Structure 1
Amino acid sequence: MTAARMLAVTVDCHQPDLLAEFWSAVLGSPKTRTWTDSHGLTYRQVELPGGPALLFQPVPEEKTVKNRLHLDLAPVELDQRAEVERLVMLGAKVIDDPADDPWVVLADPEGNEFCVLPPR
């Protein structure tokens, strides 16, 4: 039996260019691609080596509730606190820093939640 391969994690947003630049800097992946579908919508895609791409899809509606899917990140070179500070400087916002849990919850420039855990 053949299994499917995940091509991308798609994020609905208002500003695909802004989010692609933010996530490109967060993940240290400068390779991005822009493409337009048959309806004239322009998408931005951040290519991730060895993994699925992040695809930013323009939509007209606002984000209204907590994400049903979010990304968990672990720093590669910095400790967790330094990584959170770096992400805030890139435009993220700290949403929650629970004392009893090992993660910090942040939001990207359009309010999409993600977590930063300690290095692995």
Structure 2
Amino acid sequence: MEKHQISLGAINLEAAHPAALAAFWAGVTGATPLPGGDSVYLPPADPDGFAMFFQPLTGARPERQAIHLDLTVPWGSRQREVERLLALGATHRWDVLDEHPHVQWTTLADPEGNLFCVAEHPPVVASAP
């Protein structure tokens, strides 16, 4: 069977204020924005990171967001990371803490209202034979 070599190049977002939104996400990821005209490219901050591209909004925002980012942090650091992101300008939307034993998450919105989640997964405990 042929191996497919596909990877995520960048997450593209339309923004009312591309530079300001890129600055927020630069704070989230630790990357350095690279402006180019009306758009801003945010390269991955490290080899395991992801790139983002911000371009001017070309029409009305959809009423319902069909896609969002799920960001993962080490177990026990979600609340600290959420507090950091709130200080950067994110807005708290809701928490899901007890509904699923394999994950807890907080849903936030960036300064332009795009939803994203910060999730943590408990460590897997090996069972005795």
TM-score, with length taken from structure 1: 0.80
Query: Structure 1 residue 16 and structure 2 residue 47: aligned?
Result: no
Paired residue secondary structure (1:65): coil
Counterparts of 2:74 and 2:19, CA distance in 1: 25
Aligned residues: 114
Amino acid at match of 1:34: P
Q: Distance in 2 between matches of 1:34 and 1:109?
A: 19
Name stretches of at least 5 consecutive residues in structure 2 with no aligned partner: 123-129
The aligned counterpart of 1:94 is 92
61, 67, 72: which one aligns with 2:65: 67
Query: Which residue of structure 2 aligns with residue 34 of structure 1?
Result: 35
For residue 42 of structure 2, the aligned residue among 39, 43, 46 is 46
Change (3 A) 1:97 1:52: closer
Provide TM-score, normalisation by structure 2: 0.75
8 Å contact kept, 2:108–2:115: yes
Give 1:79 deviation, angstroms.
0.8
Higher relative contact order (CA 8 A, sep 6+): 1
* Aligned-residue CA RMSD (Å): 2.4
Report the CA distance shift for 1:117/1:61 in structure 2 as closer, same or farther (over 3 A). same
Q: Which amino acid aligns with 2:120?
A: P
Query: What SS is found at the alignment partner of 2:12?
Result: strand
Give the corresponding residue for 2:55: 57
1:53, distance to aligned residue in structure 2 (A): 1.6
